[in-house]
Chain A
Amino acid sequence: MPSIRFRLNGVETDVDADPDSSLLAILRGQLGMTGPHFGCGANECGACNVMIGDRAVASCDTPLWSVADKDVTTIEGLGSAEDPHPLQRAFIAEQALQCGYCVSGILISAAALLMQNPNPASADVKAALDRNLCRCGSHNRMVRAVLRAAAEMAAR
């Protein structure tokens, strides 16, 4: 098997696998990262979103070969309980979820948005999250949380 090298949450990572494997399968399988979730396997729900560079993409239909030499960020790389990303703090403050299965993908889409547009309006947030599905109906809280995180980051 060929080896493919990329940076995963800032760490140089080598993977020996079929280059056509889906990135999600590699992340959740060999690499043991359970943050990105399987939802549909067809780039229709956003539960598996990761950042490649500063873009949020569905890892379920991203082939492994396509991330060679790139930066891949999963929810695990965004922040931790000890050192949370402002988005994670804001989602807790706004209690912005119910079941939370979609939330790792939504946090990634939101993080990508804030990298590209640090001062988004509510409509920008909705547009950035439009490909992420939430079935519990926590949308409005999530939008508020993203705006809250943006404000916190701007105030720094």
Chain B
Amino acid sequence: MTETAPSPPKLPVSLAANPVLSSWIRFSPEGQVIVSPGKVEIGQGIVTALAQIAADELDVDIGRVRMVRASTAGSPNEGVTSGSLSVQQSGRAIRYACAEIRQIFLKLASDRLGVGTDALDISDGTISGPGNVQTSYWELAGDVDLDREATPGAVPKKSTQRALAGNSVQRLDIPDKVFAHPRFIHDSALPGMLYGRVLRSEISGAKLTDLKQDAARAVAGLVAIVRDGNFAGVVSETEDGAEAALKALRKGAAWSAGETLPDEDGLAEWLKAQPAESTVIDRKTAVRSGEKHRTIRRQYTRPYLAHGSIAPSCAMAQWTGDHVHVWTHSQGVYFLRADLAIVLKLPLEHITVEHMEGAGCYGHNAADDVALDAVLLAKAAGRRPVRVQWSREDEMSHAPFGAAMAIEIEADLDAQGEIVDWRHSIWGNGHTARPGRAAQPALLAATELAAPFPRYISTNPAQAGGGGADRNSIPLYDFPSWQIECHRLLTMPIRTSALRTLGAQGNVFAIESFLDELAAERGEDPVEFRLRHLSDPRAQDVIRAVAKRANWKPSKRDGAGYGLGFTRYKNTGAYCAVIAEIEGADDISVKRLTIAVDVGEAINPDGVINQIEGGAIQATSWVLKERVRFDKERITSNTWADYPILRFSEVPEVEVELIQRPDMDPVGAGEAAHGPVTAAIANAVFDALGVRVRNLPITRDRLIEAMELTS
């Protein structure tokens, strides 16, 4: 558990990495506060939460806060917007920077007005004291040098003194989106802009052996056909023209055979048979071990999952001599710049990468890939900007997927069925191949050039950073001993990278399903069973809260079932407990998800609830419907018809209880629900039908398969 009072004082991580105060906060002559975070809006409402924090700490109306989009031209470098860390990292940095800035201004105001700082009050940026003396941030701004480094020890307001944080302020970006004011990169046009499209084969890893260009050249509006090795694309005066030229170019293209993809029906066997790097993630040795009576072993799998953004990825690029400016919905502008610099062999300062909003990405999709595509196509456009957008088919087949996983849990039980030892092993590709992390680029087109870079094989972040495939694999429960192992594949025929929760969804599904099975075997209530093995009071609180809210356990009715799932995301983040109510026999329908969540201080409670609801519904879609399909040579689920997701008529009711802890450090909410929702649904299926489905997704076929195994 973390308490807020830091001693000895240390700067928050993002502020320590970017200590210059003016890189975060400036005051404009027009009476605005300009806040410049390194994190970006990806539909999660972060910009609003950060504005709330700044407005609170500085005592200004939130209407005065202008949020700047991240850019390598001047924003703090906060790495990547991922892992539910934005409030934790950016929020803390802004809170501490503002607390210090507030004191700097109070000190100067005190000197000017001849009033002690204690007697001064700030209201909407106006600093006033006894006898009607007053000044303001903006009046003093010219005499305050914020180009100085933050000093540790600034004391932010107490939670009870905050006016905005803890309140459900309406999101700043929503009006633009319902009134269709262009905010998305897809809707942005630059003067003289051209349109680009890239040609890619459906066949995985195929090489471009021939490219007849005549038909594409004849299409009206064509500006250029670009080819560099296996990378090819078109640039046109119009978007329609670019589409038509691409269609013509595709007809003129010949491709080699590609590389063989695994058998989608034998994934677990395949994952376990690949060359892998094996790591012991964690080991706990028993102080006093009970006597092993028997061993239970279970295997769980999850398939490859698509990010499935509603918008195909999009980027703009414009060259000026040997400098290039890139507009992107990447989650990490500095990281993308680093990869672009490797591919282009340019110094970093020749590349500016600026964020613009895209649709929700849910992790590392093709946002970064299309940025390199745009940069390569724009080379053929003189000094004109080019906007490049992927097709739906490419988005669903060439963007990285969330990695498939095989998970084996083995527990030794004593004569009473109590756990005396626990072993958890994971097989699968790494969960991260984001750009900017290595000496080689992770961008798709980099592997297609005439002088190609090798394919970047996904890795796993260290457990200290939350882990990757192993995320949430270390038990939160007080088992006497355990060993956790991870086998990361060294081959990657199907491209994987970060998808919301990384390995946590799979691991929580496995652990919570296994526990449910053990509890059922003992005839013990699953809520009681979990509480008995948890000593963290915050963990117990969310489980008790959700049980109470869902009237656990509702009496049995035909064709219905109830199941529980719990986790603390990344073992250090948000606590989340879920009870699922399902119905059905052949096709499972999730009727209701009741959720209790503890994110510490909730800066924007409705924003937290919105994230939890969204995560819960997305997880329901993963569990019931989603699975990337492929044959020996290509990804076949490249349309919404072949990769169905949950529809309005299939969405469960979602009820969220937020446990407020205003004095605890805030943590993110975006990924807390996926694991527990997955497990809760699977456990509810068992409650209703008496079968354990251990291979996701829980479709009719999988139910039949599981029933056959049971009988």
Query: Which of A's residues lie within 8 Å of B, judged by CB?
Result: 21, 25, 28-29, 34-35, 37-42, 44-45, 47, 74-76, 79-81, 84, 88, 91-92, 95, 97-104, 107, 123, 125-127, 129-143
Minimum-distance CB pairs A-B, first 6: A99-B43, A137-B617, A100-B177, A35-B180, A137-B614, A101-B359
Shortest CB-to-CB span from A87 to chain B, Å, is 8
Query: Which of the residues A25, A101, A141 comes within 8 Å of B610, measured between beta carbons?
Result: A141
Q: Is the CB of B308 within 8 A of A135?
A: yes
| Segment at the A interface, from B273-281, B448-456, B560-568, B641-649 | B641-649
Bound-state Cα–Cα, A92 to B309, Å: 22
Q: In chain B, what residue has the closest Cβ to A101?
A: B359
Q: Is the CB of A88 within 8 A of B178?
A: yes
Query: Which of the residues A21, A44, A98, A132 comes within 8 Å of B44, measured between beta carbons?
Result: A98
Q: Is the CB of B178 within 8 A of A39?
A: no
**B325 on the interface (CB 8 Å rule)?**
no
Bound-state Cα–Cα, A47 to B177, Å: 13
Contacts of A141 in B (CB 8 A): 610, 613
**B414 on the interface (CB 8 Å rule)?**
no
Query: Which of the residues A28, A74, A107, A140 comes within 8 Å of B653, measured between beta carbons?
Result: A140
Shortest CB-to-CB span from B556 to chain A, Å, is 26
Q: Is the CB of A25 within 8 A of B178?
A: no
Contacts of B309 in A (CB 8 A): 101, 135
Query: Which of the residues A126, A130, A133 comes within 8 Å of B640, measured between beta carbons?
Result: A133
Q: Is the CB of A29 within 8 A of B178?
A: no
Q: Is the CB of A137 within 8 A of B613?
A: yes
| B window 49-73: CB within 8 A of A | none
Contacts of B633 in A (CB 8 A): none
Given contacts A92-B174, A140-B651, contact A99 B359 (CB under 8 A): yes
**B184 on the interface (CB 8 Å rule)?**
yes
Contacts of A47 in B (CB 8 A): 310-311
Given contacts A98-B45, A100-B43, contact A42 B392 (CB under 8 A): yes
In the complex, 12 of the A-B residue pairs with CB atoms within 8 angstroms, ordered by the A residue number, are A29-B240, A40-B639, A95-B168, A98-B43, A98-B614, A99-B358, A126-B648, A127-B648, A137-B616, A140-B613, A140-B653, A140-B654
Contacts of A133 in B (CB 8 A): 310, 640, 645, 647
**B303 on the interface (CB 8 Å rule)?**
no
Bound-state Cα–Cα, A132 to B645, Å: 11
| B window 114-136: CB within 8 A of A | none
Shortest CB-to-CB span from B318 to chain A, Å, is 20
Given contacts A39-B392, A40-B639, A130-B649, contact A95 B174 (CB under 8 A): yes
Bound-state Cα–Cα, A28 to B178, Å: 17
Given contacts A95-B610, A98-B45, A133-B647, contact A75 B175 (CB under 8 A): no
Q: Is the CB of B180 within 8 A of A34?
A: yes
Contacts of A40 in B (CB 8 A): 392, 639-640
Q: Is the CB of B311 within 8 A of A37?
A: yes
Contacts of A125 in B (CB 8 A): 648
Given contacts A99-B43, A129-B648, A140-B613, contact A134 B174 (CB under 8 A): no
**B23 on the interface (CB 8 Å rule)?**
no
Q: Is the CB of A38 within 8 A of B178?
A: no
**B675 on the interface (CB 8 Å rule)?**
no
Please give 9 more A-B residue pairs, beta carbons under 8 A apart, in addition to A101-B186, A133-B645: A34-B182, A39-B310, A45-B640, A95-B170, A98-B43, A100-B173, A102-B359, A138-B610, A141-B613
Q: Is the CB of A21 within 8 A of B178?
A: no
Contacts of A92 in B (CB 8 A): 170, 174-175, 178
Contacts of B359 in A (CB 8 A): 99-102, 135
Q: Is the CB of B640 within 8 A of A44?
A: yes
Q: Is the CB of B618 within 8 A of A136?
A: yes
Query: Which of the residues A25, A44, A107, A140 comes within 8 Å of B639, measured between beta carbons?
Result: A44
User: Which of the listed residues A104, A133, A141 has the most CB atoms from chain B within 10 Å of its own CB?
Assistant: A133
Shortest CB-to-CB span from A25 to chain B, Å, is 5
Q: Is the CB of A101 within 8 A of B617?
A: no
Given contacts A41-B392, A138-B614, contact A100 B648 (CB under 8 A): no
| B window 569-620: CB within 8 A of A | 606-607, 610-611, 613-618
Given contacts A98-B360, A99-B359, contact A139 B617 (CB under 8 A): yes
Q: Is the CB of A101 within 8 A of B618?
A: no
**B151 on the interface (CB 8 Å rule)?**
no
Q: Is the CB of B648 within 8 A of A143?
A: yes
Query: Which of the residues B42, B187, B310 comes within 8 Å of A34, measured between beta carbons?
Result: B187
Contacts of B654 in A (CB 8 A): 140
Given contacts A38-B312, A41-B392, A91-B178, contact A25 B239 (CB under 8 A): yes
Bound-state Cα–Cα, A131 to B170, Å: 28
Bound-state Cα–Cα, A66 to B606, Å: 43
Q: Is the CB of B240 within 8 A of A136?
A: no
Bound-state Cα–Cα, A92 to B616, Å: 22
